Structure 1
Amino acid sequence: MDTSFYKSAMSEEIRDEGRAEGRAEGRAEGLLLLLGVRGIALADADREKIATCTDPQLLREWLQRAATVSSAEEVFGVS
Structure 2
Amino acid sequence: MSTSLSHFRGIVAESFRDEGREEGTARERALSVLRTLDHRGVLVDDAVRERISSCQDLRVLGTWADRAFTVQTADDLFVPEG
Task: Please classify the TM superposition score into its range, dividing by the shorter chain length.
Answer: 0.7 to 0.9
1:48 aligned residue: 50
Q: Residues 18-57 of structure 1 correspond to what in structure 2 (within 5 A)?
A: 18-57=20-59
Q: Secondary structure at the match of 1:29?
A: helix
Aligned length: 77
Structure 1 moving runs of 4+ over 4 Å: none
Higher helix share: 2
Q: Secondary structure at the match of 1:27?
A: helix
What are structure 2's unaligned runs of at least 5 residues?
none
| Cα RMSD after superposing both structures | 2.3
Normalised to the residue count of structure 1, the TM-score between the two structures is 0.81
Normalised to the residue count of structure 2, the TM-score between the two structures is 0.79
Identity %: 41
